[in-house]
Homo-oligomer: A and B are copies of this chain.
Amino acid sequence: MTRVTVWNEHRQERSDAPVSAVYPDGIHTPIAEALREAGFDVRVATLDEPEHGLTDAVLAATDVLTWWGHVAHGEVDDAIVDRVQRRVLDGMGLIVLHSGHHSKVFRRLMGTSCDLKWRESGERERLWVVDPAHPIAAGLGESFVIEEEEMYGEFFDIPAPDELVFVSWFQGGEVFRSGCGYHRGRGRVFYFRPGHETHPTYFHPDVRRVIANAAGWAAGPAGDQPGFGNRQPLEPTVRS
């Protein structure tokens, strides 16, 4: 059974009334529920736990990590960022959600600023599938709508996705590459845009389905652990 660790900063839900009104048990709770309903073995980890809940033992027992953070990116310990990056390169899947675009973990793995335009406007978002051959699009229609969301607009400063699955339309005139797959080392990374803390986005059935599909995609079989360093020749190298 695929083991998913749902990581959440878990700050605004405890301090900010409009957020706790929507996510009284933390944003991690509906995300974890969605994954459990889809058959995953789920645990939760949060920023204020020792080592942010991401000990070596937890990561070793994690096939896929999901990441939501917003106001406290700077409090994430660089040693934990190193550890998560190494574990992804060693084969752990990673799903970065919404404002996690600015997390140290995502910026580390992308190598870019991961910056974007934004507007807290509660406007309508339509997510269009631009790669219907992709397993993360399974079970969805050609597009789906989130009635009220924060806007994220291009330019999104990421490497061109290896696999672009969704593009968002926003009422205010912007577009956004909102479902972006990457292979990094032996691991797979998926960025998924929706999920502002004042909107009930993680209760939306299509959003939940995408997260579950992404966990399945990120956890699938992969190749052998590569070796690095000095090597003897496999074939004769005498000069002819």
A residues at B contact (CB < 8 Å): 85, 89, 91, 108-113, 115-119, 121, 123-124, 126, 128-135, 137-143, 151, 153-157, 159-160, 162-164, 167-175, 177, 182-188, 213, 220-237, 239-240
B108 touches A111 (CB 8 A): yes
Q: Which residues of B contact A177 (CB under 8 A)?
A: 130, 167
With A119-B230, A138-B221, A154-B226 already in contact, 17 other A-B pairs whose C-beta atoms are closer than 8 Å? A89-B112, A128-B154, A129-B154, A129-B155, A130-B175, A132-B226, A137-B222, A137-B223, A138-B222, A141-B224, A157-B185, A159-B182, A159-B183, A169-B169, A169-B173, A171-B237, A172-B233
B118 touches A229 (CB 8 A): yes
Q: Which residues of B contact A117 (CB under 8 A)?
A: 227-231
What is the CA–CA distance of A124 and B197 in the complex, to the nearest angstrom? 31
A174 touches B169 (CB 8 A): yes
Q: Which residues of B contact A239 (CB under 8 A)?
A: 124
B173 touches A116 (CB 8 A): no
In the assembled complex, the CB of A226 is this many whole angstroms from the nearest CB of chain B, namely 4
In the assembled complex, the CB of A159 is this many whole angstroms from the nearest CB of chain B, namely 6
Q: Which residues of B contact A167 (CB under 8 A)?
A: 154, 167, 175, 177
What is the CA–CA distance of A184 and B113 in the complex, to the nearest angstrom? 10
B175 touches A175 (CB 8 A): yes
What is the CA–CA distance of A222 and B217 in the complex, to the nearest angstrom? 11
Name which residue of chain B comes closest to A164, CB basis: B160
Name which residue of chain B comes closest to A223, CB basis: B137
Name A234's contact: one of B112, B126, B141, B230 (CB within 8 Å).
B126
Name which residue of chain B comes closest to A186, CB basis: B132
Name A184's contact: one of B111, B162, B182, B232 (CB within 8 Å).
B111
